[in-house]
Structure 1
Amino acid sequence: MAIALWYCPPQGSAVHESLQLLITSLQSLFPNSPVFEPHITITSDLNCKSADDVNRILTSCVAAIRSIPPSQPLINFQNCTIGKSYFRKVVLECEPNRYLYSIAQIMREVYVEVDDASRTQRAATWARDEFKPHLSLLYSEVYPISQAFARVIQQRIEDALNVQMVKEPQENTSNAHQLQWSFTNEPDSVQWSRPSTFKVVRCEGPASYWRVLGGTSI
């Protein structure tokens, strides 16, 4: 993962506070898991070696998001999953959004695929096939999650986001997921576009060691 670009709800906003409280609440169920800031990873493996590189990346983010209609929400959530992997243990999956995918593709092309002659095509392929925008609520090695804990997780998410969640049949659940819920109503209290914050983060070692290298709000 090395250096990643995060897209975050603005610090101190109702969205940020709701999601941060939910992350902390779920962490209390699994004391060995870390607490972290709510974020969508736009891309990882950034070619970023200096403070000037950090500033260039953030300047590009500002330019990219300013090209989007300000009333257009980039982040809406369509379902929730309990996954099998550490970083996707409990996740809010984002609805597809062409503006969000466009930003991710641009940042991938300019700051990840920098030495590749076919970087435009590689970035487009990555955005189409690999970019799965989501907001993690829990990192944990625990697998499987017990039914009792799953019920508690569901209740806490429903209470925090003011949504109703319905369990999907197992045949509709990806092999990467232990459990998936759909929402019967849209959790619009946690959608956002602008204002927002981009952060460049060094993600090396345990989450408690991660370090923000720079950020900008818009």
Structure 2
Amino acid sequence: MPGLSLWLSPPPESSLYRALQDLITDLAGSVPAKDAPVFYPHITITSNIPIECDADEVVAFAASHWAADALATVTIMDFGPAFFKKLFLRIRKTPALTQLARECREKYVYGLATAEEGDPADQAAVWAQDEFDPHLSLLYTNSWPFSDEQKAEFGAKVQTVLETHSTEWTGGLLTLVPTYRSVDEWKPLASQLVGSE
């Protein structure tokens, strides 16, 4: 992914966060190709943030635009051919999450682009409506397609987590990550807890 990415993770001290991290690690070890990296559980709020942006400023801006009623809710598990969305949980596209993504995209992606590319607010609104697809990936791999047996095995592991933990949360950790680098170099540049009252 080009540039920097702004992530929202479940509260890091929560049992859901720990269960998702364990699941991501377990699933990575289950892929025969052994090409699946381990990463932090997160929803990407926006990517393509220029690498020269001040990390603390970006995270502080996002935190200041956090809606107190923002709720992340898992809807379904899904599979797909894209490396970064091979096995993932769809997250309900709520107005609060969409607004946060739109405002961050407007300021740090379109707002920093050249003027002739269009109005940043208009571009961000179109992107938020048409392209923002909140999800929480569980597996990155080049392996595809999965066999029915693999899907059943992966699905059973995911279902165990979903049945034993809440599938929605408020607040969490906003983190800016250098996703222009390889996955093993995705170390947080800045982070801030939100909604942790």
TM-score, normalization: structure 2?
Answer: 0.89
Matched, 1:204 2:180: yes
CA contact (8 A) 1:4 1:44 kept: yes
CA contact (8 A) 1:18 1:161 kept: no
In the other structure, the counterpart of 1:169 is none
Helix, strand or coil: the match of 1:148?
helix
Task: Measure the CA separation in 1 of the matches of 2:92 and 2:12.
Answer: 23
CA deviation after TM superposition for structure 1 residue 48, in Å: 4.2
Q: Given residue 143 of structure 1, which amino acid in structure 2 is its aligned partner?
A: W
Q: CA deviation digits over 1:54-79, x for unaligned, max 9?
A: 122111112111xx23xx35210111
- 1:86·1:139 contact (CA, 8 Å) conserved in 2? yes
Is residue 47 from structure 1 mapped to residue 34 from structure 2 by the alignment? no
User: How far apart are residue 203 of structure 1 and its match?
Assistant: 0.9
TM superposition shift of 1:22: 1.2
Aligned partners of 1:89 and 1:138 also within 8 Å: yes
Counterpart of 2:57 in structure 1 is 56
Counterparts of 1:193 and 1:61 in 2: how far apart (Å)?
Answer: 15
Equivalences for residues 186-205 of structure 1 within 5 A: 189-194=166-171, 196-205=172-181
Match of 1:103 among 100, 104, 108: 100
Spell out the pairing of 1:176-187 with structure 2 (5 A cutoff): none
> 1:76 is matched with which residue: 73, 76, 84?
73
Q: Which runs of 4+ in 1 moved over 2 A?
A: none
CA distance in 2, matches of 1:110, 1:37: 25
CA apart distance, 1:97: 0.4
What is the root-mean-square deviation of aligned Cα atoms in Å? 1.5
Structure 2 portions without partners, runs of 5+: none
- Whether contact under 8 Å (2:70, 2:97) holds in the other structure is no
Q: How many residues align?
A: 187
Please say if residues 82 and 88 of structure 1, whose CA atoms lie closer than 8 Å, have aligned partners that are also in contact: yes
Distance verdict in 2 for CA 1:16–1:79, change over 3 Å: same
More moved, 132-141 vs 40-49? 40-49
Following the alignment from structure 1 to structure 2, what is the Cα–Cα distance between the partners of residues 62 and 96? 19
AA aligned to 1:61 is: A
Contact 1:80 1:93 in 2 (8 A): yes
Question: 1:126-158: CA deviations, max 9, x gaps?
Answer: 000000000000001011101111110111011
Cα deviation digits, residues 78-98 of structure 1 (max 9, x gap): 111111111100010111200
**What SS class does the counterpart of residue 144 from structure 2 fall into?**
coil
Distance in 2 separating the partners of 1:206 and 1:138: 15
Shift of residue 190 of structure 1? 3.4
Match of 2:193 in 1: 217
Once residues 50 and 151 of structure 2 are traced to their aligned partners in structure 1, the CA distance between those partners, rounded to angstroms, is 39
- TM-score between both structures, scaled by the size of structure 1: 0.81
Q: d(CA) in 2 for partners of 1:45 and 1:20?
A: 25
8 Å Cα contact 2:4/2:48 also seen in 1: yes
